[in-house]
Amino acid sequence: MKTIAIIAEFNPFHNGHLHLISQCKKDLEADRCIVIMSGDFVQRGAPAIVSKFTRTRMALSCGADLVLELPLYYSCGSAEFFAQGAVSILDRLEIVDYLCFGSESGNIDNLAKIAGILNEESSEFKSLLSSYQKNGDSFALARQKALLEVLDKESPAEELNKIKESVSSPNNILGIEYIKALLRLKSGIKPYTIERLGEGYNSDALTTMASATAIRHALFNDEEKLKPAMPKECLYLLTDYKGIFADTNLFSDLLYYKLISEKELGYSRYLDVTVDLSNKILANLESYTSFDGFCTILKSKDMTYSRISRCLTHILLDITSSNMEDYKKDSFTSYARILGMKETAFPLLKEANVVSQIPIINGLKNAEKELNELELRLLNETLSSSLIYNRISCNNLPNEYRMKPIIC
């Protein structure tokens, strides 16, 4: 039996996600699909629009067999940390054959070539990267320029043009990071991609293949227009959701309290927050009106809106650089916490329990006995972020220690 895995946010689940799961299962003749999904906070530095449990139900209703939670430090990390954290879990489960993802490119060979260069980090590449950063480019832009300059010397013009497109699109960038993570781990999991269909990542058009961005926008403005864009089971779960649809501004007051209460210390202990950014936050505190508004004030040529939002979320949730260093040194601390599964997936879970190199948490009651110190700390930090999310979004979910994984 073949098992595919998908790393996702499902924020929320839409027709494009349904196509990804069904097409990859069909192409690879796979019997089972494992999803590792962000919890209540996602990679762009924002709360998920609905809880992880509602999004788990969406995934299980549309082709996923087993849904695991991606711990907080990885779900809210940069593309590199997001990918490394998720892939480390999938690799150590020892039951995954293919890692599948959608990409604008749809060309696994081009993405693998880019990932190979980034993984190798030759002296030429490092020198170019440093040079572009010194000229004021953001890390992402500097890396893109350095990569293209290296490739320009060894690629035909036609191939180079295709590669240029690959390094500037969001799903391609994540796909490259997935492949890079697999290379670093010398993993036996094979990467597989299909072309992303429909609207672009940031499009607001509500079509049958609408982006998650468009769906979130419609939820806050006109829910009636959502029917073509989502599987009906997922639309029902959204419209029946008991809670507030969450966005960053819902956390504005809590963030402001955190910034004010720690202004004497500064914020550079938090992940991705440089001393310069910490000073800029302090200098602009009097202008604070909302989470989103503060991101707009702080963004600059070398620091994008998304990175600012991620940094502020790190401050809000106590995501520190020192803790991330601990997890990185531990080869990205891993455990597999089950959020939900289909009844038919019990043989898959039984197989995983035999061969997995990491603890599999099926309910939290015995977590303290099953996890080591670092694993338990990562779990507790993830659970604490969900307590904050649940309180602010008013979804009335009980303490997770009293909840069992969803079985359907």
CB 133 within 8 A of CB 100: no
The runs of H, that is alpha helices, within 136-249 are 139-152, 157-166, 170-185, 212-221, 232-239
Tell me: do 147 and 193 sit in the same domain: no
CA geometry: angle at 43 spanning 211 and 142, to 5°?
95
DSSP 266-335: -STTBTT--HHHHHHHHHTGGG---HHHHHHHH-BTTB-HHHHHHHHHHHHTT-BHHHHHHHHHTTS---
Tell me: do 60 and 199 sit in the same domain: yes
CA geometry: angle at 77 spanning 72 and 83, to 5°?
95
Tell me: do 139 and 229 sit in the same domain: no
Residue 370's identity, in one-letter code, is: E
Query: 204 phi and psi, to 5 degrees?
Result: -100, 5
Tell me: do 159 and 201 sit in the same domain: no
How confident is the prediction along the chain (408 residues), in pLDDT tens digits per residue? 899 999 999 999 999 999 999 999 999 999 999 999 999 999 999 999 999 999 999 999 999 999 999 999 999 999 999 999 999 999 999 999 999 999 998 999 989 988 998 898 888 888 888 888 888 887 778 888 888 888 776 666 666 666 766 777 889 999 999 999 999 999 999 999 999 887 666 677 788 888 888 899 888 777 777 888 899 999 999 989 999 999 999 999 999 999 999 999 999 999 999 999 999 999 999 999 999 999 999 999 888 899 999 999 999 999 999 999 999 999 999 999 999 999 999 999 999 999 999 999 998 998 999 999 999 999 999 999 999 999 999 999 999 999 999 999
How crowded is residue 347: how many other Cβ atoms within 10 Å of its Cβ? 10
Q: Estimate the share of the chain in helix, then strand, then coil, as percent rounded to the nearest 5.
A: 55, 10, 30
**Domain region containing 359:** 3-104+172-246+332-407
Q: CATH code at 16?
A: 3.40.50.620
CA–CA separation, 62 vs 37, rounded Å? Answer: 14
The torsion region of residue 76 among left (phi > 0), alpha (psi -120 to 50) and beta comes to alpha
Tell me: do 90 and 179 sit in the same domain: yes
Tell me: do 188 and 236 sit in the same domain: yes
Tell me: do 180 and 223 sit in the same domain: yes
CB 192 within 8 A of CB 96: no
Count of the separate structural domains present in the chain: 3
Q: Convert the pLDDT of each residue in 170-182 to its tens digit.
A: 899 999 999 999 9
Q: Convert the pLDDT of each residue in 16-64 to its tens digit.
A: 999 999 999 999 999 999 999 999 999 999 999 999 999 999 999 999 9
| pTM to 2 decimal places | 0.93
CB 85 within 8 A of CB 77: yes
Tell me: do 160 and 27 sit in the same domain: no
Tell me: do 63 and 188 sit in the same domain: yes
How many percent of the chain have pLDDT more than 70?
Answer: 96
Q: Convert the pLDDT of each residue in 151-162 to its tens digit.
A: 776 666 666 666
DSSP 226-285: GGGGS-HHHHHHHHT--SPPP-GGGGHHHHHHHHHHTTTT-STTBTT--HHHHHHHHHTG
